[in-house]
A and B are shown apart, each in its own frame.
Chain A
Amino acid sequence: MKLKSLLVSLGLLAGASAIQAAEPLKVGFVYVGPVGDLGWSYEHDMGRKGLEEYFGDKVKTTYVENVPEGADAERVITQLAKAGNDLIFTTSFGFMNPTVKVAKRFPKVTFEHATGYKLSKNLGTYVLRTYEGRYISGVTAGMMTKTNTIGYIGSFPIPEVIRDINAAYMGAKSVNPDVKMKIVWANTWYDPGKETDAANALMDQGVDVMLQHTDSPAPLIAAEKRGLRAIGQASDQSKFAPNAHIFSVRDDWAPYYIKQVQAVMDGTWESKDFWGGFQDDMLTLASINPNLPKDVRAKIDATLASIKSGEFKPFTGPIKDNKGNVAVPANHSLTDVELAQVNWYVEGITDEIPR
């Protein structure tokens, strides 16, 4: 019996080394939503497909969708590691501590966690500079509004969202000194019903251009019904609101996924905190509506170009917070570490961050 199993395992070993060269890199993805959410998880899955397209049969990808951010996450990540995945992307903030725990138990597997802040030897993090897209959205909204009131549907009051609200307001203010911004918290990332309610609440208060930090196209649809305007989030949402849609700030994860998979294949992967934006082609303006006035379109292109070239950074001082304190000193642009900790509103936002 023993001899037999020894022979079997020797045979397996020999077989394994022979096919090692052709063995594809196995890459796992954990999504918080369904791939059909047409927003956050959908775009991560597009990134996964981009990865497959680029590498062909040199990679084998697996994904698990709709994974709750509670006790289940750790099991799903473990099962992906146990199933032999070499690289695992966990794509929602709530997966942070489960990913940290699993990474500790599987030191040979590489982990990448989106939007978190905990790193370890085999765990890196990555996040989008969504505030860049939000700044351009703000500029556009500031020019397009007739009531001088723009709206923002917040998801949760975390630094990413606070940062983006500031960027949007600074963008709007740069072109329209009289602009006001109304903020509604939907307390969800994806809930078409609540997002519609939030959109209607904003429009009832005189908002005529809306930005959203939630993922469903519901606010766009609500804007279309009232003949008002809105900007899409995460994916190209133009088809849901042909007239209302201004543009969508699309997340494109494929360039990052390709880069990291290549690094793991080459053995050059290292754990770091990566921020990607327009410069890295991880953000794009999708389906800019041809019905925009010419001057607005020109301003969009110019702002995009200055951000893309690195010439302009939205969080460059002097910036005051709305309590009158200096938040960013003159001649300083917030570093990534500082950006991760933004917990103040810029001067002019007449609202309080929910605590």
Chain B
Amino acid sequence: MIRIQARTEPSSMMKIASPLLAIVLTLIFGGILFSAIGKSPTQALHVLLIAPLADSYNIGEMFVKMGPLLLCAVGLSLCYRANMWNIGAEGQLLAGALGGSAMALYFVDSESAFALPITLLAGIASGMIWAAIPTFLKLKFNSNLILTTIMFNYIALYLLIWAVHGPLRDPQGFGFPESAMFSDATLLPTLFDSSRIHLGIVFAILSGVIGWFILSKTHLGFQIQVFGADEPAARYAGFSSKKLSWLVMLFAGALAGLAGVSETTGPIGQLVPNVSPGYGYSAIIVAYLGRLHPIGAILAAIFMAVLYMGGDLAQIEMGIPVAVVSMFQGVLLFFLLACDFFINNRLAFSNHATN
């Protein structure tokens, strides 16, 4: 008889062993999977996990991919720490992309030095508004935040699709649903000549550091942690749940909005219907992979970016179908999160069934 038993305190051994165990399990599974479809497992694992970091172009692209994931994940980490179950990073990102792009198109003939900062602020503000509505509904009417934030993801998506088919559509674009290309004045500068690494990635890494600072160095962060650990205790201590909820949600909305506007003014350079391939949802995985720690989120975002790119490379280099790649990635993430379960829980073996 095997039972699951909560540990009295987190196992420090498992904290380190858990990712290692996950890697071993993944390697075994990957070996079986890739052999089964007749591909070399060592080559496949190399292409999936190492090739994305093998040359300077790929490293640059890894950072491009990581930026939006990290921005969203840092905000979500703080929300989840404070027990605010915000599933709405995707919608907040899209709102940021939409608001920021509307502003960028307003500046489409401008060369003003203020164009870019104002565009970015518009994106941030749009993300904050998109986070504020469900927060207000929760605090005022006690609506379920998970449901409202999911609904707001769809509303944002359809607003964006409407805008890109209507008011923001490129008048010279033959009716295709895309905005005009933005002017250079509203494009995020790239940091190196031959790479797409742009200023948005600096913002993303800064956000991780700022998130870490808030969480571990400020009284506010202490309050968030207490709330997450023991809500009644936090209330007894006189911490305002309302104020904290607003703060974490607006922070997350601002970062997700920045992620959205950084995509459209960065690598994409215009507003398109597919700004995000689900960054806001993947960021939930990133937040948990990073154990809800902003610095952890940086590592987790790098890891997820590598996984995504490895998936493309596996198709290009080895002709591995995307379905197999996705299966491998899914199992890898499952092992990582499942092994983390044993940090706070353990298996208890006993000889006879207990009631």
Interface residues of A (CB under 8 A from B): 28, 34-36, 62-72, 74-76, 78-80, 82-83, 93-94, 97, 117, 156-159, 162, 187, 340-341, 343, 354-355
Contacts and interface: CB of A to CB of B under 8 A. Distances in A.
A276 to B, nearest CB: 19
Interface in B234-278: 263, 266-270, 272-277
B283 to A, nearest CB: 15
Contact of A94 (B57, B272, B315, B323): B272
Contacts of B270: 97
Given A64-B316, A66-B322, A94-B272, A355 B174 contact: no
B231 interface: no
Contacts of A354: 165-166
B175 A94 contact: no
Contacts of A158: 174-177
A355 B166 contact: yes
Given A34-B323, A74-B196, A68 B174 contact: no
Contacts of B316: 28, 62, 64, 76, 79-80, 83
Contact of A78 (B57, B166, B176, B308): B57
A72 B308 CA distance: 10
Interface extent on B, as a size class? Answer: 35 or more
Nearest to A34: B322
Contacts of A117: 174
B61 interface: yes
Interface of B: 57, 61, 64-65, 161, 165-166, 174-178, 181, 196, 263, 266-270, 272-277, 308-309, 312-313, 315-317, 319, 321-323
Nearest to A68: B277
A76 B312 contact: yes
A71 B266 contact: yes
Contact of B165 (A74, A156, A162): A156
Residue from the set A36, A66, A76, A159 with the largest chain B CB neighbour count within 10 Å: A66
Contacts of A79: 312-313, 316
Contacts of B274: 68-70, 94
A187 B269 CA distance: 23
Contact of A343 (B61, B64, B175, B308): B175
A102 to B, nearest CB: 11
Contacts of A63: 315
11 contacts: A69-B272, A71-B267, A75-B196, A76-B312, A78-B57, A80-B316, A94-B178, A97-B181, A158-B174, A162-B175, A187-B161
Nearest to B176: A158
Nearest to A76: B312
A190 to B, nearest CB: 13
Contacts of B323: 34, 36
Contact of B268 (A62, A65, A70, A156): A70
Nearest to A355: B166
Given A34-B322, A158-B175, A355-B166, A74 B267 contact: yes
A72 B176 contact: no
A80 B315 CA distance: 10
B64 A75 contact: yes
